[in-house]
Amino acid sequence: MPRVETKTEVVSSNSESLVRVNSADEVLGSLDKTACHDSPGVLHRAFSIFVLNKTGDLLIQQRHPTKRLWPGYWSNSCCSHPRAGEEMEVAIERRLEQELGLFADLQFAFKFEYRKSFEDKGTEHELCWVYVGLTKSSPVINTTEISEWRWIDPDKLDAELTERPENFTPWLKIEWQQLRKEKKI
């Protein structure tokens, strides 16, 4: 892993209020993060960001071991939730800066719904908005969220997902397949 500047700001809380939605992405209200992720999971709005550098490599991160769901798994550049009352554009910029210290020109790619349980720890049931963007900056990694990170060539990520799919979050696998199918990366 390259040497990089880090920060340790706590940017997430289990009590933060998330946006509950239905399958049509209509807002139904809000609920705290813990309750949204308790099994069987309450459908809520989320986002995933895929950041590329000028050479076309993708930034991926290994989730911090203290994460409730999929700790230590490799995932996309950044993923989180808009807070109740927060516009998606504000949320994606906020979280990209908080986790990675990055600013990127992000473009909406697609959204989809999924549900996946992690052991007996909880369930993700999300309507996830997916974004792709380019940065010219170096990341400033928030070590309260991320334990490792790396830039990876998209073809090498394809190979790793085939050889060791158990190392990656379920949403990354779904999103990556769709992005590659649509030739967005």
Reported as type and span, the H/E element at residue 98 is: helix 88-100
Query: Is the distance from CB of 133 to CB of 49 less than 8 angstroms?
Result: yes
Catalytic residue from among 99, 124, 126, 175: 126
Whether the pLDDT of residue 3 is over 80: the answer is no
78 as an active site residue: the answer is no
* pLDDT tens per residue, range 16-38: 899 999 999 999 999 999 999 99
Q: Tell me the C-alpha distance between 61 and 58, whole Å.
A: 10
Whole-number mean pLDDT of the chain? 93
The CATH H-level superfamily of 6-181 is Nucleoside Triphosphate Pyrophosphohydrolase (3.90.79.10)
Question: Angle 170-181/154-163 helices, nearest 10 degrees?
Answer: 130
Residue 29 φ then ψ, to 5°: 140, -155
Across the range 52-73, mean pLDDT stands at: 97
Domain boundaries, the chain: 6-181
Contact 23, 43 (CB under 8 A): yes
Q: Which of 79, 99, 128, 175 is catalytic?
A: 79
Determine the pLDDT at residue 1: 45
The pLDDT of residue 11 is above 60: no
The answer to whether residue 10 scores a pLDDT higher than 80 is: no
Nearest Cα to 92, choosing from 108, 69, 112? 108
Is 79 catalytic? The answer is: yes
Query: Rounded mean pLDDT of 80-87?
Result: 95
